[in-house]
Chains A and B, each alone.
Chain A
Amino acid sequence: MEHYLKTPVKEADIRKLKAGDLVYITGTIITARDEAHLKALELHEKGEEPPVSFTGRGVFHCGPIMKKDDDGKWQVVAAGPTTSARMEIFQDNFIEVFKPAIIIGKGGMGERTSKACQKHGCVYGAFTGGAALLAARGITDVEDVFWLDELGMPECFWVYKVEKFGPMIVTIDTHGANLTADVGAKVNENRDRIMEEMKK
């Protein structure tokens, strides 16, 4: 099923999504990778807040290529997803604290993220890895950038206005499904069988 979501997305609408559904987003998404996740959570622990709100919005695991145009305005050159598994160590905490509606990335995420999605009403949407120009096509404006000097172009927060950004395939929903993990389990079964056959 296809869903067109507008940010801020209501928790009830997120809970309607099922693994395997296609999702397009209109509104605001924010890029965040390892260091941005870490820094945002560290700030929160100190009682401070990051410079941008994630509530009901999309968090995009992406380190884009950006370029300033002649008027000094930031333009997106290429902005595909990065490997989400690296964020597994703090994504659950991030979802609990900042309440994003959708995590966008590639390669899927694990048990901790899946549990946080169920508990707090968030989904994981897989965008085709490497398809950076396809992704860039859905970004209509660069609204803001934070921590650029400190973290550098790939790691900082880029705040994007998006229009029908997608398609993402929901691989983790709020009902406990995790498509990538299911495929991974089958791959491991196949691996064991193939390795056993190779012995003969």
Chain B
Amino acid sequence: MSNLETIVEDTAVELLRIAATELPVEYVEEMDRLMKETSGDVGVSQIKNILEDADIARSGSKPMCQDTGIVAFMVKIGDEFPLRSKLKEILVEATKKATERVPLRPNAVDMFKGNTGNNVGLDGYVPIIYWDLVPGDSMEIIAMPKGGGSTNVAAHRMLKPGLGITGVKQFVVEAVAKAGSLGCPPYFVGVGVGGGEDLCMKLAKNALLKPFKVRNSDPKVAEIEAELYEKLNELKIGAMGLGEGPSVLDVHVEMAARHPASLPVGIVISCWALRHAKATIGADGTVEIDTSA
């Protein structure tokens, strides 16, 4: 293994450790603030438990939740970055190592052969890796392990284009209400609109990773995000679906052009433990880790 290959592998393992054990401080601070606004012992107790759990996780470097999820990496490779096709092998290896070292729960289940024991699928699709080519000589990796509970409440629908933006917003309200208590609220909500049946889901997942509380650069989309944030909290799902405290911590909407006959909408929901960590690795092997929300 070349030196750079080792650096990429070690960095990917470290990103999975950070993601699983250190909840971004911005989320912690926001929940702490919202706890103080919560009336009702049940709601307060749930957020208090979350914050205490996140604190034990960070100080002890232990996974905040036993469901350390299916591992996904979002990778941007610079044109001049020395490693290319080798990267997949490296990220797969990093996933196996992180499973042992962090440790992560083995969550890759083969339909016929059962749990693979190392978070790597037998058919080459898991860990999930998204590739993007960009200018420059560095690479960026985001590790995003996502749990099953909130993954199960994702929603997808091909709307009639005539329903327009109102239809999109209604679908989001419907989907989050349906998620209810099931996916460990308070939630982060990612919405993808347009692009096609597949791209809208990818946009929705990516939307979860957009900077916390920063609204879309398009003022019209920003307005939809703000409205959805308000309305989704009016559902009053509450922390853990017990009716008290916040229902939703943030909402991001991503839009893509659509086919004239289609209005695809994807909704990806994260539990309170929205886990991710990012690193930029230079061609010279320098590593910069970014743990911001």
Contacts and interface: CB of A to CB of B under 8 A. Distances in A.
A82 B67 contact: yes
B254 to A, nearest CB: 20
B103 interface: yes
A191 B64 contact: no
A10 B29 CA distance: 43
B63 interface: yes
B170 A154 contact: no
A63 B173 contact: no
A12 interface: no
A131 B67 contact: no
Contact of B105 (A63, A107, A133, A194): A63
Contacts of A182: 243
Contacts of A191: 173-174, 177, 235
Nearest to B57: A133
Contact of A65 (B63, B114, B273): B63
Contacts of A77: 62-63, 66, 103
A130 B166 contact: no
A6 B4 CA distance: 56
A49 B65 CA distance: 32
Interface string B210-236: 000000000000000000000100111
A152 B114 contact: yes
A85 interface: yes
Contact of A133 (B62, B104, B106, B169): B62
A106 B49 CA distance: 13
A82 B177 CA distance: 19
Nearest to A199: B166
B289 interface: no
Contacts of A184: 180-181, 241
Given A153-B115, A184-B241, A65 B66 contact: yes
A64 interface: yes
B242 interface: yes
B103 A80 contact: no
Contacts of B104: 65
B50 interface: yes
B235 A63 contact: no
B117 interface: yes
Contacts of B237: 183, 187
Contacts of A129: 149, 184, 240, 271
Contact of B241 (A78, A131, A153, A180): A180
B107 interface: yes
Given A187-B236, A191-B174, A194-B231, A130 B273 contact: yes
Contacts, number: 164
Interface string B51-69: 0110011001011111110
A108 interface: yes
**Could you say which interface size class chain A belongs to?**
35 or more
A133 B273 CA distance: 13
Contacts of B236: 183, 186-187, 190
A179 interface: yes
Contacts of A63: 66-67, 105
Contacts of B271: 129-130
Interface string B255-289: 00000000000000001110000000000000000
A130 B60 contact: no
Nearest to A83: B149
Interface of B: 42, 45-46, 49-50, 52-53, 56-57, 60, 62-68, 103-107, 109, 114-115, 117, 147-149, 152, 166, 169-170, 173-174, 177, 180-184, 231, 234-238, 240-243, 271-273
Given A80-B65, A106-B149, A126-B242, 11 more contacts: A64-B66, A77-B63, A107-B149, A132-B66, A132-B67, A133-B63, A155-B115, A184-B180, A186-B243, A187-B177, A198-B166
25 contacts: A63-B67, A65-B68, A80-B67, A83-B152, A85-B182, A106-B149, A108-B181, A128-B46, A129-B149, A132-B64, A133-B62, A134-B52, A134-B53, A153-B106, A154-B105, A167-B45, A169-B242, A180-B181, A183-B238, A187-B180, A188-B177, A194-B234, A198-B169, A198-B231, A199-B166
Among all A-B residue pairs, the 8 with the closest Cβ atoms: A152-B115, A129-B184, A128-B49, A191-B177, A183-B243, A131-B53, A78-B66, A132-B66
